[in-house]
């Protein structure tokens, strides 16, 4: 499973605590150079301030023209409030809301210390007018009554001396000085459950379409110290050729444990209710899409939608587990939807998260899932009182599984294809040395009429 596989009230010279933020005008006011602005996931818009969806809003920082001042290199927090700044709207832990500014004075990435960090936009694609400039997505944040918001970039001491920004006791709010923050306002349209436009990708050509997709890097689900597995995603394990997407996963012994290097692509924008479809051959040792492969233990290949640290997730996946119990047969597809009611805990494993996490399962014996291509699709629909997710395989008009109930998501999610390593007695199986391959022929999304 991917989851096994987020105002200032100025009183000059006086420190005042407002809603958990420490306010003082005395610190670092003349040291915080550069600028911030809201933008899209590619960072192509400078100071875009009107968006259709919350999920479309990204934060950029640095010079807005070639001769503009740079942001000081170092670490920063960010947050979203109402326009007055007195109501915090960001809902996840401040530890998850961190970015790094590099030597070029622009946001260059995340600290890479947790699984709850916010998604990054693209910093390099054909025709990119702002290379090496990496925007960061602002959701999750609550809605304001006016639809207008203020985003803050808040320096830590590594960026500006004296900016000793710290999380408050609840871990969500921040204590900081007003001279350590920059702000920008933006507006989001009111909309209940939007959906992205319909699209299809047949993976023609020799390169992944980086306008649609993003190659993920960093920690992977299944990276669990007490299971002796260090799991990561490597963008170099993603390739396109011959009309196919190929995701690679390798496992090698690493001292007393294992190093599992997998691959993950995700869409740049989320999609909502509609039909999601993949034609794929699950992971095996076949380094050619028409060759016969072996199902090595230790891997999970999956297609899914995903949002905010498994706050919600709809996933079908293949476990390479080869031992008992038979319910984990490598000839089966496991269809699940998750609802993690505590995404702030930074745990990508809803089952391990414990309280407040619920799941629904459907085990589907298929056969030949890793030596043949199959067409997998699910239809995600709203409903009263709950929505519905119907899962289909190949041309069978009858769904293999139907899920309904309070765990059916109501918020759009990103479209993912994932291959990661495990070292576990059950799901995914124990690690096995070697390289294996996961092939995808076609992916598409069709919104509801």
Select, from the ranges 59-73, 132-146, 253-267, the one with the highest average predicted confidence (pLDDT): 253-267
- pLDDT per position as a tens digit, 105-116: 888 888 988 778
**For residue 27, what pLDDT band results from cuts at 50, 70 and 90?**
very low
Tokens of 293: 């492969």
Q: What is the pLDDT of residue 124?
A: 55
The 10s digit of each residue's pLDDT in 192-218 is 555 588 899 999 999 999 888 989 888
Name beta bridge partners: 307: 312
- Encode pLDDT of 222-278 as tens digits: 777 777 889 999 999 999 999 999 999 999 998 889 999 999 999 988 888 999 999
DSSP state string for 287-329 = SSTTS-----SSEEEEEEEEETTTTEEEEEEEE---SS-GGG-
> What is the structure's pLDDT at 123?
57
Give the per-residue pLDDT at 24: 38
Between CA 439 and CA 383 the distance in angstroms is 34
Over residues 145-170, mean pLDDT: 92
What is the average pLDDT across 281-301? 93
Domain map (residue ranges) of the chain: 16-188, 199-447
pLDDT digits (tens, 9 = 90+) for 317-362: 998 875 555 445 667 888 888 877 666 554 444 444 443 456 666 6
| Residue (of 235, 234, 229) closest to 252 by Cα position | 229
Cβ pair 301, 267 in contact under 8 A: no
Strands 332-340 and 98-101: unpaired
User: DSSP string spanning 392-412?
Assistant: EETT-SS-SEEEESTTS--S-
Residue 424 has pLDDT above 50, yes or no: yes
Evaluate whether 130 touches 54 at the Cβ level (below 8 Å): no
Mean pLDDT rounded to a whole number for the chain: 82
Among 318, 297, 257, smallest CA distance to 429 is for 297
- The structure tokens 């692509």 sit at 265
pLDDT confidence tier of residue 6, bands split at 50, 70 and 90: very low
Token readout for 262 is: 């997998």
Q: Provide mean pLDDT across the span 411-429.
A: 88
State how far the alpha carbon of 219 is from the alpha carbons of 225, 230, 344, 348, in Å.
12, 8, 17, 10
Residue 148 CA to residue 169 CA, distance in Å, equals 27
The SS3 call for residue 349 is coil
Topology of domain 199-447, CATH: Jelly Rolls (2.60.120)
Q: What is the pTM of this model?
A: 0.64
Please provide the DSSP assignment of 269-289 as one string: S-B-SEEEEEEEEEEES-SST
| Phi, psi of 425, rounded to the nearest 5 degrees | -70, -15
> 203 and 243 in contact (C-beta within 8 Å)?
yes
pLDDT of residue 407: 84
| pLDDT higher than threshold 70 for residue 11 | no
The more confidently predicted of residues 119 and 123 is 119
């Amino acid at each position: 499973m991917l989851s096994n596989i987020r105002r200032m009230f100025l009183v000059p010279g006086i420190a005042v605590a407002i809603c958990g933020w420490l306010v003082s005008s005395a610190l670092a006011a003349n040291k915080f150079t550069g600028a911030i602005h809201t933008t899209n996931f590619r960072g192509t818009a400078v100071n875009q301030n009107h968006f259709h969806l919350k999920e479309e809003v990204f934060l950029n920082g640095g010079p807005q023209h070639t001769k503009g001042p740079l942001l000081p290199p170092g670490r920063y927090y960010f947050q979203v409030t109402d326009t007055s700044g007195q109501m915090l709207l960001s809902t996840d832990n401040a530890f998850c809301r961190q970015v790094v500014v590099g030597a070029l004075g622009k946001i260059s990435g995340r600290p890479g210390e947790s699984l709850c960090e916010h998604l990054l936009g693209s910093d390099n694609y054909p025709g990119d007018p702002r290379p090496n400039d990496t925007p960061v997505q602002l959701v999750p944040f609550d809605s304001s009554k006016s639809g207008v918001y203020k985003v803050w970039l808040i320096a830590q001491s590594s960026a500006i001396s004296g900016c000793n920004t710290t999380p408050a006791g609840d871990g969500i709010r921040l204590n900081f000085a007003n001279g350590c923050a920059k702000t920008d306002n933006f507006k989001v349209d009111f909309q209940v459950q939007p959906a992205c436009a319909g699209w299809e990708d047949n993976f023609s050509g020799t390169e992944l379409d980086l306008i649609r997709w993003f190659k993920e890097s960093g920690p992977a689900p299944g990276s669990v110290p007490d299971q002796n597995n260090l799991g990561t995603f490597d963008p170099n394990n993603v390739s396109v050729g011959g009309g196919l997407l190929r995701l690679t996963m390798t496992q090698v012994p690493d001292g007393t444990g294992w190093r599992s290097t997998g691959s993950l692509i995700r869409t740049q924008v989320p999609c909502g209710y509609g039909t999601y479809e993949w034609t794929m051959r699950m992971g095996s040792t076949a380094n050619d899409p028409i060759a016969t492969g072996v199902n090595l233990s230790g891997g999970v290949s999956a297609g899914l939608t995903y949002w905010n640290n498994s706050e919600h997730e709809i996933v079908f996946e293949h476990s390479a587990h080869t031992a008992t119990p038979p319910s984990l047969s490598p000839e089966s597809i496991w269809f699940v939807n998750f609802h993690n009611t505590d995404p702030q805990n930074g745990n990508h494993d809803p089952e391990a998260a414990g309280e407040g996490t619920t799941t629904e399962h459907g085990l589907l014996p298929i056969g030949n899932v890793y030596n043949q291509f199959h067409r997998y699709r699910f239809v995600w629909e709203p409903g009263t009182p709950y929505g519905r997710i119907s899962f289909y395989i190949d041309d069978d008009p009858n769904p293999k599984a139907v899920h309904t109930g309070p765990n059916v998501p109501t918020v759009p999610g990103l479209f993912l294809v994932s291959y990661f390593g495990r070292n576990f007695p059950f799901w995914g199986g124990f690690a096995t040395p070697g390289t294996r391959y996961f092939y995808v022929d076609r992916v598409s999304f069709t919104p509801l009429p």
